[in-house]
Structure 1
Amino acid sequence: MKVLPLKKLIKPSLLIIGSLLCLQASWLPAKAWLSQQLISYSWHQTLALQQKIKPWPWADTYPIAELSFKRLTRRLVVLNGGDPSTLAFSAGAIAPFNKVNSTQPFVVAGHRDSHFSFLNEVAMKDIISLADQYGQSQLYQVEAINIVDALTGQLPILTDDSSLILITCYPFDDPSSNSNERYVITAKLL
């Protein structure tokens, strides 16, 4: 039996290890891209069928609205719920403020380093469109941008006001920090 010299085994071994590392590194971006495609598809199916369509069969959530920021040319499908598994895939509407076309505010939370990373570009008087599962849109205008301390629990939410409130962690430039501050955008119904 002939034994291969160590030099002949190094090249194929390094090639296999390098390939496995590349696959591992591309897994998370590929999963993120695919989840956004599935969420978008389930939103379009929700509009077409006018019923709750989960993005994947084992999902704990479903799309309930779409936010459009015309000046920024951004669109974002909003999922139902504010739990970590929902926020990992998109922004989420937080119960009990998760009803579109209500007399209560519609409150949406998202991560500052992913789906809501652009909120620092939103400016006063910007117009935001909120589409519901029936394809009906409402326009909101940004009227306040605040930075609040989350530990005090004093978020500017009035329960009898039909505003749109967007919340993310703050500051934007240091996503590794475990900040207790929240960036809160309040937009009034036009």
Structure 2
Amino acid sequence: MAYRRTPAVQARLDAQRETVLKAAVALLAEDGYAGCSMAAVARRAGIATGTMYQHFAGKAELSVELFRTVVRREVEAVTEAAARADDPHRRIAAVVETFAARALKAPRLAYALLAEPADPVVEAERLVFRRAFRDLFAVQVAAAVAAGTIPPQHPELTAAAVVGAVGEALVGPLAEGGGHPGDLVPALVDFTLRALGGH
């Protein structure tokens, strides 16, 4: 007969997994992907390295879950910012503004997500990350087209181009440590609105 975990044991394991993921996010923000070894995450989480394998088969599986956790948080923040805006132009601006400002406030984390050399499994997650933002942005582009505030265009193609351009524009500043957004965020918003034909 197969062993069944009691609710109390499962709750303890779930809480421990959450602690591990928080430790991994903190390490990613400090040292990037290279600093997120199973041993380093275990130390940060206050558990034995062997215990990590109760939650993840290895670094590749941990990295996938880590990237998904961080991306989910970033997508939620950008979605909420867009929802607070009251017209299509402002929603488009809010997406770019929030994405860029959050990246510059956590430059090491954002650099790890966008550009740090990494294993193929991480590269695959980066594609998921880009698609998530492309899809979110495409919704805003489609709404602005429907409202007549920007010229007709292919929302997904436009969104992919803008997300790629904004990400590329951020890589240099992120590699240098981010710092204060200064004129960069407003310039990226201005670029985006001009690229969409709405300025």
Q: Which has the higher strand share?
A: 1
TM-score by length of 2: 0.29
- Larger of the two Rg values belongs to structure: 1
What TM-score, normalized by structure 1, do the two folds share?
0.30
Greater RCO, 1 or 2 (C-alpha within 8 Å, sep 6+): 2
